[in-house]
Structure 1
Amino acid sequence: MRGVEKVKDSTDTVIHYPDRKAFALVAVPIARKKYGDITANLLQHSLDYKPGNLHFNEWSYEAQQIKKSKEHIAIVNEEVKKANANKVKSFSYNGSKGLESDKDLYNAFHKMKYKIDGTYVKGQWEITTIYYDKYNFEYNFKQMFTGDNKLGWAAANLTNLMESWGTLNEYTSYVTVTDTKKAWK
């Protein structure tokens, strides 16, 4: 049964979700143990009351993990190679990529869209890549609870139900990653 609570120092009212609390006590620790902090933190964010989109800056743990991924390195190297071959002063490209080299990144973001921009400054490229992804609870919970077996499918079905109840709230994560690379001279 859900209750209603007055928010301290506010005229707002919040619906109490005991199922949200129970899910946080069970699923968040499983996510942290099985995948890592990024997956667990994204899940916890959704279980918070009416969360907004998340923005991770270039110094965040999430950005640093993406920056170390082989997929990000390949994206940056490919764009720099093309820009250097054409001796341009800037480049910009949109795409999408599955971050599969790390299980926490894979489960947390799976297939992110990205926008990469590079500017030529004094013989080097100053590059900013913004990754963004809507958290896919059905896919992620199915994987978290043992994949394609019956328990995985049950978790995916429970996730759909929890989304329709408003227990889980979808949102988009944005991660900014910056790099510098040697440019043509």
Structure 2
Amino acid sequence: MKIPAAAGFVTLMLFCLVHAEICPLSCTCKPLEEMKGWLVDCSSKGLKEVPALPVNTRKLYLQNNSMTTVRTGAFDNLQNLEEVNVSDNPWNCDCDILYLKLWLEDFSESFIANVICATPASSERKPLSQLSGNELDSCRKSLPIKCLNFFWRDLALITFAVVVLILTSFLLNTTEFPRKHLRKIVLCV
């Protein structure tokens, strides 16, 4: 009788060690259907960012935390995910939230419906699903446009080419202009 109890204790300890290694400290993890994945509950923990998650997470609850954005790639390794809840967080709907928006749109339209923007003021209380890339602050970053410099340079080159063509045409059509002068002009250009 002592051997089965000891074996059970060792099995329980091994399960706890494996469980402790894969479950984020601030979350609660429960096995689903004979170890075919995990329910990871990180709700109401005051989290400011998504913790490292077990690869075989099937259900993920991150609602009611202090997350304002999700780092790019945070959910990319969760291939078995079936359910996610990220509602009730103070989402900052600027360009950094674009990863979450695109990921949720690919994952499921129903889950993105509950993501409501808290900031900036232009997006406050709007669902993330209704914002386009142009409405997400800082996605419209001004690119350093130096077209004006190219415009003036190109205009000068075109003007020079037109003047040369007009002069050449004029000189070729003029019968009074000696050919020896034409050769000197062409050689100079």
* Bigger relative contact order, structure 1 or 2 (CA pairs below 8 A, ≥6 apart): 1
Q: Which has the higher strand share?
A: 1
- Which one has the largest radius of gyration? 2
Task: Compute the TM-score of the two structures, normalised by the length of structure 1.
Answer: 0.24
Task: Compute the TM-score of the two structures, normalised by the length of structure 2.
Answer: 0.24
